[in-house]
Amino acid sequence: MAWLPPWRQAGPDMSMPTTLDPAPMGAARAPEDSRRSNGGTGTTVGGAVSRDLDEHLVSLLNPQSFEADQYRILRHFVDQAKGAVPRQVLAVTSPTAGDGKTTTAVNLAATLSQLPGARVLLMDTDLRRPFVAAGLGLEDGSAPGLATMALDPDLELDQMVRRTPYNFDIVPAGPAAPNAYRVFDSPRVGELLEQARRTYDYVVLDTPPVLLVPDCRLMSQWVDGFLIVVAAHRTPRKLLAESLGAIHQDKVLGIVFNADDRPLSGYFTRYQGYYGYGQPANGGRSWWRFPWRRAAQGRFRPWR
Q: Which residues are bridge partners to 230 per DSSP? A: 257
CB-based contact 171:177 (threshold 8 Å) = no
pLDDT category of residue 21 using cuts at 50, 70 and 90: low
Q: What percent of the chain has pLDDT over 90?
A: 23
- Measured N-to-C along each axis, helices 101-112 and 66-80 cross at an angle, to the nearest 10 degrees, of 70
Mean pLDDT of 7-27: 42
DSSP 8-state class, residue 256: E
Residue 35: what residue type? R
Mean pLDDT of 278-296: 34
Given a cut of 50, is residue 8 above it in pLDDT? no
CB-based contact 275:103 (threshold 8 Å) = no
What's residue 62's pLDDT? 63
Question: What average pLDDT is seen over the chain?
Answer: 71
Rounded to two decimals, the pTM is: 0.72
Q: In whole angstroms, give the CA distance from residue 123 to residue 169.
A: 8
Name the phi and psi angles at 121, rounded to 5.
-120, 130
Given a cut of 90, is residue 17 above it in pLDDT? no
What's residue 169's pLDDT? 95
What's residue 59's pLDDT? 64
Q: In whole angstroms, give the CA distance from residue 70 to residue 145.
A: 30
What's residue 128's pLDDT? 86
Q: What percent of the chain has pLDDT over 70?
A: 61
What's residue 54's pLDDT? 52
CATH superfamily of 43-277: P-loop containing nucleotide triphosphate hydrolases (3.40.50.300)
What's residue 109's pLDDT? 93
What's residue 18's pLDDT? 52
What's residue 142's pLDDT? 64
pLDDT tens-digit profile of 173-200?
Answer: 887 777 788 888 888 899 999 999 999 9
pLDDT tens-digit profile of 126-160?
Answer: 988 888 887 787 765 567 889 888 888 888 898 88
